Each structure stands twice: as C-alpha cells, then as structure tokens.
Amino acid sequence: MTSADWHLFKNVFAVVRQSTNALFHKINILRNTLKKLVIYRYISDRNERFLIDEGVSHIPFTVFVDIGRTISGEKLEALLRDLPPVDLLLVVDAPDDVLLDRVIDRGSKGHRRINFDSHEDVVVFMQQSRKVVEYVKRHFGGHVYTNTVKDIDTDAIIKLLGSKDV
C-alpha cells in the first residue's frame, strides 16, 4: 500500500471510531476498507482488465452509511478525494422503492448492520445510501446503469462499459 492509502485508512479510522456501530461492525468496516485497498494495489500494476464489484469506490458506502448519524458532506467529499483513481466506474442504480425492496429481500445476510425488525431503520439506511451514491456519481462521473428488475442485464452493462473483452 502507498502512503496515500495509509492516509485514507487513517481518515476512515477517524470516521468509524466516532460511529455508533458495535465494535464488531467497526472492525469489519476497517477490515473491508483495508481489503479493498490491498486488492486495488495488487491488481493496479497488471496489464489485465479487472471488473471489480464493490471495489475502492464502495469505501464511502461502507464508511458513511450508518443509521446512527448524519452524513457529513464535507467529510464524505474529503474521503472521495483521497480514494485511489479508478479507470471506469459503473454505478448500478435503481429507484428508491426498488432498492428498498432489494435490501429487504436480502435481509441481514446482505447488510448485518441494519435492524430489519425496524422498517424505519431500513428506510434510513437506504436514504443514507442514496445520499452517498449521489456524491459518488458526481465525484467519479461514472456511467449509470439503472436496473429496475431483480436480474441485471449484463449485455447492457458491457455495452455501457464500451468493452468487448469482458
């Protein structure tokens, strides 16, 4: 990892330390951030193409989507500026009601930090996720693939990416 990666990790640690998450979840957020950075550096010097699901561009979601607090736009933007560059970002998006249904369908196996016994907590989680996704889209200027059904149209994604060797 580079010194910039360690700087980013230090900032993630500062944000996570102040969260209301349980210690287990805080450690998991830090572990996932570190894992994403290590994978990024491992593949960044290779002359191959990689399609990474929830890579370094997903770190802001992991760090800031937290039911117990308000997202600081200033801190979120600072973290986005510190992220390593990505060659191409594809944001798979959908209307809020579709996203909410997907999260509820996945349940706690998809998002262990959500109390699925509280519909309000699930809605707050999704509202925070929406806020982060809008910041990410503005920051990266990524391609947006809107998917309103459960199955993803991989041909449409490949076309959007403009790649023939996926």
What mean pLDDT, rounded, does the chain reach? 85
**Worst-scoring range by mean pLDDT, 6-10, 128-132, 147-151?**
147-151
Compare 69 and 134 and report the one with higher pLDDT: 134
Task: Please give the tally of structural domains in the chain.
Answer: 1
The answer to the question of residue 166 being in a domain is no
Say whether pLDDT at 148 is over 70: no
Compare 63 and 92 and report the one with higher pLDDT: 63
Looking at the DSSP bridge assignments, the partners of residue 109 are none
The answer to the question of residue 93 being in a domain is yes
Q: What pLDDT, on a 0 to 100 scale, did the predictor assign at position 107?
A: 78
Question: CA distances (Å), 20 to each of 5, 34, 64, 67, 126, in order?
Answer: 25, 20, 11, 8, 17
Looking at the DSSP bridge assignments, the partners of residue 93 are 146
The answer to the question of residue 77 being in a domain is yes
Compute the distance between CA of residue 79 and CA of residue 73 in angstroms, rounded to an integer.
10
Q: What pLDDT, on a 0 to 100 scale, did the predictor assign at position 33?
A: 96
Residues 125-150: what's their mean pLDDT?
81
Compare 107 and 122 and report the one with higher pLDDT: 122
The answer to the question of residue 115 being in a domain is yes
The set of residues, in sequence order, having a beta carbon less than 8 Å from that of 106 and lying 6+ positions away, is none
Q: What pLDDT, on a 0 to 100 scale, did the predictor assign at position 166?
A: 46
The answer to the question of residue 18 being in a domain is yes
Tokens of 2: 């580079």
Domain carrying residue 47: 3-161
The answer to the question of residue 156 being in a domain is yes
Q: What pLDDT, on a 0 to 100 scale, did the predictor assign at position 164?
A: 55
Q: What is the largest CA-CA distance in the chain?
A: 47
Q: Residue 87 has what DSSP assignment?
A: S
